[in-house]
Amino acid sequence: METVTTVREMKARSRAWRRHGLSVGLVPTMGFLHRGHGSLVERSVRENGRTAVSVFVNPAQFGPGEDLESYPRDPARDSAYLKSLGVNVLFMPEPSEMYPPGFATAVEAPELGEALCGASRPGHFRGVCTVVLKLLNAASPDRAYFGLKDAQQFFILRRMARDLDLDASLVPCETVREADGLAMSSRNSYLTPEERAVAPLLRKALLAAEDYLIGGGRDPAEACGIVGGMLSGESRFVPDYVEAVATSDLKPVSEVSSEILLAAAVRLGRARLIDNVIFDPSGPSRKPRGGAGC
C-alpha cells in the first residue's frame, strides 16, 4: 500500500490504473477506522481492480463549537488496518491541500441538506458535498462506497451525483454494529462506560418502530412516537430529532406509502449518536423481530 498526500499524486495513480484497464473503488473516510469502515473497504477491494481509501477529517463539515479539534485520530493504526485489507492507495491530504488559500467554491444541497441532521448542523452537508466531489475528482473511481449509518448523507450524495452528472456509481452499504446493536462510529470513543451501556437503546427504539411498520402500521407519527417514547425512558439521552421522511426527497411523510427513512439523533454525553431504519412498504415482506435483537 502506498500513501499519497496530494491531489496530483492521487490523480496520477488513478490514471495509471485506468490505463491498465483496472476499475477503481474509492472509500472516503475521516479515519479512526473501525469494522464499519472495514466493510466498505472489503467490498471495494472485492468489486474493483484497485481501491483507494481517503482519510481526511474535513474541517468544512464541522460547525463552530463542534468536535473538529478533538475528533479522534490514529493514522498509524488506520494505515496498518487498510494495508491488511488489501488497499492500494491511502490518500491522506492535509487541509491546506484540499482547501488552499483562496478556496472559494462549495456544493450546496439546499433542501435535502436542511432536513434531519442538517437542521442542527447548518452547513454540514455543504461541507460533505464539497469534499466528496473533490475526492471523487481526485480518485476518478468507478464506484464509491458509503455507509447507510449516515443515510441522509448517502441520499444527498446520490442526488448530487445525479444532478452533476458524475460518472461514479455511489454504492450504499449496510450499517455494521456492535454485538448489542449500537452502530459502530468513530465518535463512540467519546462515550463513558455508563453511557456506552445505555447507547444501544437508540437501536432498540428504532427496531420497535420498524416492527410496527412491518406489522402493517402506516402512521409515521405513531412510528416516531414509539421511538420518542422509548428514548424518553433514558434520562441521559437528549433527543435531537426523530423523523420519518421519504428517501426520495427527505421531506416528512403523512403516510407510509413508499420507501421511508426513519431516522433519529440523540446527544449522549459528549457524543451525538445517529441511527435509522429504511422501510419500503412494497419491499419483500419481513417477519417482525419480536424483541430487541439487532
> Which residues contact ligand AMP (rule: CB under 6 A)?
29-30, 36-37, 39-40, 146-147, 149-150, 173, 175-176, 183-186
Q: Which is nearer to ligand AMP, 205 or 253 (CB)?
A: 205
CB of 149 to ligand AMP, least distance (A): 4
Closest residue to ligand AMP using C-beta atoms: 147
CB of 224 to ligand AMP, least distance (A): 23
CB of 264 to ligand AMP, least distance (A): 15
Q: Which is nearer to ligand AMP, 38 or 228 (CB)?
A: 38
Q: Which is nearer to ligand AMP, 50 or 149 (CB)?
A: 149
**Cell 454525553, residue?**
269
Q: Which is nearer to ligand AMP, 150 or 243 (CB)?
A: 150
Instruction: Please write down the HEC assignment for all residues of the chain.
Output: CEEECCHHHHHHHHHHHHHCCCCEEEEEECCCCCHHHHHHHHHHHHHCCEEEEEECCCHHHCCCCCCCCCCCCCHHHHHHHHHHCCCCEEECCCHHHHCCCCCCCCCCCCCHHHCCHHHHCCCHHHHHHHHHHHHHHHHCCCEEEEEHHHHHHHHHHHHHHHHCCCCCEEEEECCCECCCCCECCHHHHHCCHHHHHHCCHHHHHHHHHHHHHHCCCCCHHHHHHHHHHHHCCCCCEEEEEEEEEECCCCCECCCCCCCEEEEEEEEECCEEEEEEEEECCCCCCCCCCCCCCC
CB of 5 to ligand AMP, least distance (A): 18
CB of 187 to ligand AMP, least distance (A): 8
Q: Which residues are catalytic?
A: 37
Q: Which is nearer to ligand AMP, 156 or 256 (CB)?
A: 156
